Amino acid sequence: KAGVTQTPRYLIKTRGQQVTLSCSPISGHRSVSWYQQTPGQGLQFLFEYFSETQRNKGNFPGRFSGRQFSNSRSEMNVSTLELGDSALYLCASSPTVAGTDTQYFGPGTRLTVL
Amino acid sequence: AQTVTQSQPEMSVQEAETVTLSCTYDTSENNYYLFWYKQPPSRQMILVIRQEAYKQQNATENRFSVNFQKAAKSFSLKISDSQLGDTAMYFCAFTTSGTYKYIFGTGTRLKVLA
């Protein structure tokens, strides 16, 4: 089975722009989670989706949003980018509704905001 | 609030030796799940080991084993016969039913020396 894929792998944007990141989960996995990883804050939970429904959201401003499609692929969007949004954005998928399954991570999207 | 603490930012170990990484957590839940993930330099995060809190037996996976002390809320990872390929960032993570999110510790950077 193919693993979790994320596109693009690298992005450079300027302050004020917006960005959309994409995640394709492992085939058959219906839960997708997003995390922001920075050297100072570690891994911070952004949101989780299951069957197109957001089940939980982390403590991030409204500029961060996401969605999930019927094929379980997910996107996250960051509007009005700030320098502090520079980070590695990780997507993870898991197979069932439980929310306690092992999560399988993608390689991440490295976002640099100038 | 549920928290995960990794008190060792960096560690090093000689090849073939044994090393133990510490993790403590705080929760009022009785049923939860604990994980150790490994993130090699510039590579994606992979699961090392998983422990269900209701299981008294400590999980093992080849050279990796945990010491799960539920009363002390401690979940340490022991790596035996360390190999150069074990050099990575190690994250401890926690989740409970119904939260649909993982909480990660800040990580321990492990370097295996030849």
A46 pLDDT tier (thresholds 50, 70, 90)? very high
Q: Which residues 2-21 on chain B approach chain A with CB closer than 8 angstroms?
A: none
Is-contact B74 B58, C-beta < 8 A?
no
Give the pLDDT confidence score for residue A2 in this predicted structure. Answer: 85
Task: Tell me if A107 and B44 make a contact (CB, 8 A cut-off).
Answer: yes
Beta carbons within 8 Å of B58's beta carbon, 6+ residues apart: B51, B65, B66, B67, B68
Ordered DSSP codes for B54-81: T--SPPEETTEEEEEETTTTEEEEEE-S
High-pLDDT (> 90) share of chain A, %: 89
In the predicted model, is pLDDT for residue A1 greater than 80?
no
Contacts with B47 from chain A: Cβ below 8 Å: 102-104
Is B106 at the interface with chain A, CB within 8 A? yes
Is-contact A103 A3, C-beta < 8 A?
no
What three-state secondary structure class fits A70?
Answer: coil
Nearest by CB to residue B99, choosing from A99, A102, A103, is A99
Task: Tell me if A45 and B45 make a contact (CB, 8 A cut-off).
Answer: no
What three-state secondary structure class fits A4?
Answer: coil
Give the pLDDT confidence score for residue A52 in this predicted structure. Answer: 94
Nearest by CB to residue B104, choosing from A43, A99, A100, is A43
High-pLDDT (> 70) share of chain A, %: 100
Give the pLDDT confidence score for residue A101 in this predicted structure. Answer: 86
Nearest by CB to residue A33, choosing from B50, B101, B105, is B101
Is A2 at the interface with chain B, CB within 8 A? no
The highest-confidence range among A22-31, A88-97, A98-107, B51-60, by mean pLDDT, is: A22-31
Per-residue pLDDT 10s for chain B (114 aa) are 789 999 999 999 999 999 999 999 999 988 899 999 999 988 889 999 999 999 888 998 999 999 999 999 999 999 999 999 999 999 999 999 888 899 999 999 999 999
Cα atoms found within 13 Å of the Cα of residue B63, Cβ hemisphere only: 12
